[in-house]
A and B are shown apart, each in its own frame.
Chain A
Amino acid sequence: MSEIEIRKLRKVYGSTVATDALDAVFETGSVTCVLGPSGCGKTTLLRMIAGLEKPDSGQVLIGGKDVTSLPAEKRDLGMVFQDPVVYRGLSVRENLELPLKQAKGKNKLGLKERAERVDQLLTIMDLQSVAARQVDALSNGVRQKVAVARAMIRRPALVIFDEPVTNVDIVSKLEIQRDIKRLVGELGQTVLYVTHDQTEAMTLADRIVLIKDGRIVESNPPRELFRYPSSTFGGHFLGSPGMNFLPADVIASSSSTVTVTASVFGQPVTFHTTSVAGADHVVGIRAEHINISDKQTENAVRARVVTRAVGVGGRWILNCMLGESRVHVKARRSNPVSLQNEFWASVPESAACLFDSEGKRIGIGSAAGDRG
């Protein structure tokens, strides 16, 4: 198993910069999800790592070795695409055996080892019951599971997934995600998973690399990215609805702190930051982190509900006015305050992020410590 590194990877198509000087390290034995909207450059990145596309400049390293000029088949990687790539006319077992039979040199395994390797994957992926069946007779979802197992069977340095659950049924989608987690846990496989779906990325990733307009804007573990995004784009892209952003007025600053007012705060809030210069700061708050009450508390502001909709898991998504600002608030259906047209809203300081005018996070509310 090897660490994968990309250095200053750049690709231009005509006048469009697909990826612009991307730097990242994909850690051994972990799942890195490359996430971003359609057309952000994530597929170009994947194809350059796989050796299917030649970068204009920059390097791809696998286990410290520069593979930038190596063709795809010499890069020691497995790939899973949107549609399952399996050998028709062969059984599930034969499909898994084939890459092992074709292996040469030091990768060649004996008959017994090959059988063991196949059985191990069939077990991890719950495919034993269909092992003897022809892949043609299986549903698209099960075929995709076979394609995942086939990509993993040689234990390549890296397995790349390109939106693998887009075209499969819901049960297969869950099983494939579960299996990827198991395979990484049990085999220590290194995985690169490309998706536009924030939930898939949050569910699978040890680290999310978020791409916008050909540049990496975030590279963090999912929960950290959700709670303290490094950029307004990260705050917007993760979570549903995305983070609330409100204008902040700086009323005081020192060399390491800045104190601001914003319509979501009942009193000024101090952020630890070393980047106090500049104007047009923005405060970011998640809809989930705004508390509602029918009693006025110390740091509460009056909120008026504009619209109310049922969201995921029956929770209310309340579209509220806080002063001049429109803000989303989430509330449990069982909370009686959520049915009132006006209530008091308060935000724990530790849940607030401060961003500069470029959308870069420069601070976190003081109760969260010195994370800046």
Chain B
Amino acid sequence: MTSLSGPLPGARNRSSRAPDRLFRGAAAVAAGLVVVLLIAVGVLLTVSSWETWQRFGLSFLTGLDWDPVKGIYGALPFIVGTLMTAAIGMVIAVPIGLLTAIFLAELAPRWLAIPLGFLVELLAAIPSVVIGLWGVFVLSPLLRDTVEAWLAGSIGKVIPLFAGPSFGVGIFAAGVILAIMVLPTIVSISREVINAVPNSQREAMLALGSTRWEMTTKAVLPYARSGIIGAMILGLGRALGETMAVTMVVGNNPQIPSSLLGQGQTIASEIATTFSEASVGLQTSSLIALGLTLLGMTIILNILARLLIRRVAGDGVGMASGG
């Protein structure tokens, strides 16, 4: 990287320095704006939700009731809904994503890895609302009649967490949708991290007579471990904040569901469904407080993930995760 700062060789006369300074200043302002905006998000959400924090304090986070009529606001149903859907999503997406990443980076021949990798990433480009539309009309009925019916009829009879009735639309469907939506993030970043593992690791292992799979699990994955964990955390961050598709399939029921097949609401989906009609004052403030809670969770996860990924693969990895 050349640095063009400092005294410039061709800029002896003052007249040519002024535009340089101006240009440099404009670039600095734009760059500063990125940092300022990020801080502003946190500050403005805190200020706008102050009324709620003052009224309820931290018990806002543990309150069970969300009742705009009585003016009681507790975020726990939405926090639980968010964590449940994200957990289901991760349980499905992590093994599939990791194995896919290994396949693309280590096993597949080039002619297959390139188009396959492209297709997986193309999934990330599909707008959330389109996936939600498909989720409501295609996936949910399918899940209701197959997986959910089976779960409710077998495990559900013993463990209440999987008990019916199943509506199709609900926490489980939202989890499956999330799995689909975070898969590209997990695959593409894990894959880049695995690609960043030096070949000497592989060669040394193969030279000892290992098989491809042994090489992968014993020489490649341990080396890439922190980056792969970072990829998963980044996926988790996306799952927590994903809004439209989840809003459309989660059921929009502001209570803690008793079963994974029940209907619930996540933080993001509660904001999406009620914010524009909320009365200015405590209700809006409480919704923004929900938003701040979500922001806190996702920012911590994102910072953690970036640091982990950077440790293995250096700068510039992981821009693929679009919204």
A binds B: no
Residues of A within 8 A of B (CB): none
Residues of B within 8 A of A (CB): none
